[in-house]
A and B are shown apart, each in its own frame.
Chain A
Amino acid sequence: MLQSKETPYSKVVRDRIVLVIALFVFCLGAPLFLYTTRVHRADLPVLELDQRVETFADSVKFRIPVYVNSTNEAAIAQIQSATDNYISTTTNLDLLWSLEFRPYTQEIDSYQDYVLSLIEDDESSLDHLTQSFVLSPFSKGITVVLPSSLSISNVSQYVTEVLFNQVFGSEIQMFSALKSNSLSSDMSFPYSTVFNVVFNLFVQDGTPVDWAIAEAVPLMQPIFQALQHYCKFKVSTQIQYYSKLTNEPTFNEEQNANIISQENLPTFVNFGDWNLHNHEVTPSINFVIYFSELNYENIPLLVEGSETNSFSIPQWGGVYIYNPALPPLEGSRIKISESELNKILDIFASQLFELLGVPSEPVSPLMRIDSFQRFSSYKNLKRSLDNLSALVKLSNSLIGISIPEATKTNVVDSMARFDEAVQNLSVADFSHALENSGISLESSDKAFFEKEMLQQAHFPNEHKLAIFLPLLGPICSIVLFGILKRFIAWKKNRSALSQTEKAKKEI
């Protein structure tokens, strides 16, 4: 066997070098590698969230105060028990939604709170029982006229009927649909804190048309004001010419008018050709006034089955087809006047309510908006918890996904707002509850959509090996084999040593 010419000293040096490199790799390299490739996963407040999800039914409660203006003291208690009974027997809203009757005092304003006035009608005789009710078209006043001879239980029964069929009917329906998750297709705009409202005038040909929109827009201001707790509105306007129709309307000789049939309405707005873009970050509600070129020939363009000549497209906006009252004079420039726009904006206001999801009953806009606000807060609170639960579920199921601290911050923020909204609800401060629930929803969305929270942006676990093997493979294999070699040599050496020792002993 060939003897190595290596001096014992160089052997020692090699041993040392291997040792130092191995120590370097394992003590410094490996921790550094793990440290720089780790995926940050913030500690989400899962327990706190679970607690809120569990107690959701107990904590989120709507107690709507109704002030009763009546000479009969006992009536309040009677009506209270009758309505409570009604809610628990005919709806699924037990605990969630109820009315709270309080005695009326002079300071109560029927524009702020519900006021139920019971008026006894002395004139009607027994055989001529007349019960009737009047809902204020403006305020939140409810007036019920009853014959004085009517027994108190009949009074409460009648009042309950009026309240639940006329005043809170649609609200209860929406609440119970949402509670049982049977809201099949919600056509309204998803919640946003800011909406852009865009008024468009689309003219079929190139003939200039004027409109007094600058004067007319302030007319919408009270509507925006009324919805201020729900969201803010940013208004913009534009005129577009040469806006061709996608489908030719059919001419009806009887009416001497062009008719847009019901089945062509969904494709009326020419998304491909009309310039409907805007570069806002917040969602836009579009309102279109369409001006047909046949207006100059006095042939109106009509929407089939619509008296107001308008229709709305869910989650997009509303359309009104403009036909002038009088045929325009030859060569004169058409101007849509402020009074005409007033009428059109009236339609757009109704469409705005519809697009946002404001119930159509009862008449008084204050009552409708009130119902809408309560319903929206409930929806927002529910959704924000849904979002957060989805986030937690996702973070558990996708191990490779990173959870940055910003997500945690937003989750905490969302839950804080949730608590605040619940607090607002407990004191029947519905407008602030709505605002807080909206921010809670927004924060939960932000938490979910956090930019850094992307599995693919980092190395997925399956890819890690493929990416790092070319880099670490050569180093690791050299180090590993070097150590192995030294280990084997050391073992050999030791056994040889022990054998010589044995031999020595034997000698």
Chain B
Amino acid sequence: MKLNIPWLLWAIISSVYALEAAEAISPEKQLSTSGHTNNWAVLVSTSRFWFNYRHMANTLSLYRTVKRLGVPDSQIILMMADDIACNPRNAFPGTIFNNMDQAIDLYGDDIEVDYRGYEVTVENFVRLLTDRWDENQPRSKRLLTDENSNVFIYLTGHGGNEFLKFQDAEEIGAYDLADTFQQMHEKKRYKEIFFMIDTCQANTMYLRIYSPNILCVGSSRLDESSYSHHSDMDVGVAVIDRFTYYTLEFLEKIDKNSQTTIDKLFEEYTFENVHSHPGIRTDLYGRDPATVRLTDFFGNVQEVTVRDKNELLLSTVKSTRMQEGQLPVDDHEILRIPISNKGYESTALHQVSKKESQIIMAVLVAFLGLIWAVSKE
């Protein structure tokens, strides 16, 4: 038998390489950085009324978590009906609990609800994301993100196939949501978005999104309900949803400087836990979730710059000014192009003016008269 030496050599070399390659793929993947400089959170509970206690508790639990992990309150937008804590049916007035052990009062003493009651509307939600307000809108109620912002968006409430109901009055469709994200993308209003939704048939809500760098998670797929976790017999209603319960259970173990990656959170989303099929959409997202830290969305980890030398700028600029003498400071009024107010009066939907309504009335009267005239014997 003739040994094929080059073949043997190749086999040995390739097996060595294979070994090395196997070593290179270690279970711990390198963490990736998003390069964001600020974090924002938009937390929305779209329900009202006492029996939707759990939706308020869901939202407040996440509020508590993102705040605990360091996102400043000025960068958290909290939208909810806020009719639970002081509801006459609440046996524990002024409190909201997310667990029957009643260990954590979520309502606490430091809650800043940005949009409450009937302010929780589709219009306000879309306005918030696209930042389309008049100039009187306070800064604390605006989502002032830029191209370096990581945004966590959490929605909970009652939903259906490709829609989410807002307070029994209206609904937002999956297409509207997708278009809104696209507008944010066009205006460079985010670096990355983590979109989480806990409703019935939640996964249908993110299917229409087409803008890049959005990581989506939903609690249940088409034709599936999302279930509540447990009821508190003293409160009398369900206090938290399963999906959010397991999310929180995991996040409670995270601290501000945690290096835990987001795929570990996804591992919690099993059918055994949630009793529905949670969905994860990563095709729009540029990074591998196994390399993304949770604190990229849930914390406020910023890269700080330590200053080690003093430039004595104050005295330098001051002496510059002094040497400059009393040079005339060039601060003449800059020219302004006049803007006519006419443009601002135009509105998208036609407002019927008084005169127009008079004309319409007159035409209607004439019309009735005409009918009377033609039918008269």
Contact = CB atoms under 8 A, between A and B. Distances in A.
B127 A406 contact: no
Interface in A269-328: 271-272, 276-277, 279-281, 283, 303-308, 310-316
A350 B310 contact: yes
Interface string B2-31: 000000000000000000000000000000
Contacts of A370: none
Interface stretch (B45-53, B215-223, B333-341): B333-341
A45 interface: no
Contact of A263 (B131, B134, B257, B313): B257
Contacts of B309: 307-308
Interface residues of A, number: 112
Contact of B126 (A139, A263, A313, A456): A456
Nearest to A19: B374
A17 B350 contact: no
Interface in B142-199: 144, 146-148, 172-173, 175-176, 179-180, 182-183, 186-188
Interface in B103-156: 110, 122-123, 126-127, 130-135, 138-140, 144, 146-148
B35 interface: yes
A436 B334 contact: yes
A306 B309 CA distance: 8
A120 B95 CA distance: 82
Given A310-B307, A405-B342, A452-B348, A390 B186 contact: yes
B135 A281 contact: yes
Contacts of B256: 246-247, 267
A242 interface: no
A315 B38 contact: yes
A413 to B, nearest CB: 6
Interface string B318-353: 111101100101110011010110111011111010
Interface stretch (A36-44, A91-99, A126-134): A36-44
B253 to A, nearest CB: 17
Contacts of A279: 138-140
A404 B343 contact: yes
A420 B335 CA distance: 10
A398 interface: yes
A314 B303 contact: yes
Given A276-B72, A316-B302, A365-B313, A458 B348 contact: yes
B233 interface: no
A413 B324 CA distance: 36
Given A312-B304, A315-B148, A40 B346 contact: yes
B311 interface: yes
B212 interface: no
A373 B172 CA distance: 44
Interface stretch (A155-163, A185-193, A478-486): A185-193
Contacts of B329: 225, 228
With most chain A CB atoms within 10 A of its CB, the pick from B256, B308, B348 is B348
B67 A272 contact: yes
A35 interface: yes
Given A185-B35, A223-B313, A271 B173 contact: no
A222 B123 CA distance: 46
Interface in A358-408: 364-366, 386-387, 390, 393-394, 397-398, 402, 404-406, 408
A450 interface: yes
A36 B330 CA distance: 52
A263 B303 CA distance: 10
A453 interface: yes
A46 interface: no
Interface in A402-456: 402, 404-406, 408-410, 413, 416-417, 420, 431-432, 435-436, 439, 448-456
Interface in B241-287: 256-257
Contacts of B370: 20
Contacts of A354: 305, 307
Given A225-B329, A453-B132, A28 B363 contact: yes
B139 A351 contact: no
Contacts of B308: 305-308
A258 interface: no
Contacts of B70: 246, 266-267, 271-272
A9 B377 contact: yes
Contacts of B337: 413, 416-417
B323 A111 contact: yes
Interface string A445-471: 000111111111110101000000000
Nearest to B299: A267
A459 to B, nearest CB: 8
B304 A266 contact: yes
Interface in A180-203: 184-187, 190
A408 B132 contact: no
Contacts of A137: 316
Interface residues of B, number: 93
B312 interface: yes
Given A36-B352, A272-B70, A416-B337, A312 B307 contact: yes
Interface string B221-245: 0000000000000000000000000
A311 B313 contact: no
Given A277-B74, A449-B130, A353 B313 contact: yes
A30 to B, nearest CB: 14
Contacts of A9: 377
A198 to B, nearest CB: 13
B83 interface: no
Contacts of A408: 343
B90 interface: no
A28 B367 CA distance: 11
A454 B126 contact: yes
B318 to A, nearest CB: 5
Given A281-B135, A394-B183, A406-B344, A138 B140 contact: no
A210 interface: no
With most chain B CB atoms within 10 A of its CB, the pick from A307, A397, A449 is A449
Contact of B139 (A39, A281, A394): A281
Interface in B283-304: 300-304
Contact of B305 (A312, A390, A409): A312
Nearest to A39: B348
A220 interface: yes
B186 A458 contact: no
Contacts of A397: 182
Nearest to B349: A458
B1 interface: no
Interface string A245-267: 01100000000000000111111
A39 B49 CA distance: 35
Interface stretch (A165-173, A341-349, A494-502): A341-349
B130 A454 contact: yes
A267 B140 contact: no
A440 B160 CA distance: 44
Which are the 10 A-B pairs with shortest beta-carbon distances? A271-B72, A402-B348, A405-B343, A185-B35, A16-B374, A390-B186, A409-B343, A349-B313, A456-B126, A36-B350
Interface of A: 9, 13, 16-17, 20-21, 24, 28, 32, 35-40, 42, 109, 111, 137-139, 184-187, 190, 219-220, 222-223, 225-226, 228, 246-247, 262-268, 271-272, 276-277, 279-281, 283, 303-308, 310-316, 342-343, 345-347, 349-351, 353-354, 364-366, 386-387, 390, 393-394, 397-398, 402, 404-406, 408-410, 413, 416-417, 420, 431-432, 435-436, 439, 448-458, 460, 462
8 contacts: A35-B350, A138-B316, A186-B148, A190-B146, A222-B314, A343-B310, A346-B311, A365-B316
Given A9-B377, A184-B35, 20 more contacts: A21-B371, A39-B349, A137-B316, A185-B36, A222-B320, A271-B300, A279-B139, A280-B139, A304-B306, A347-B307, A349-B317, A386-B188, A394-B186, A398-B179, A409-B344, A451-B127, A452-B347, A454-B126, A454-B130, A457-B123
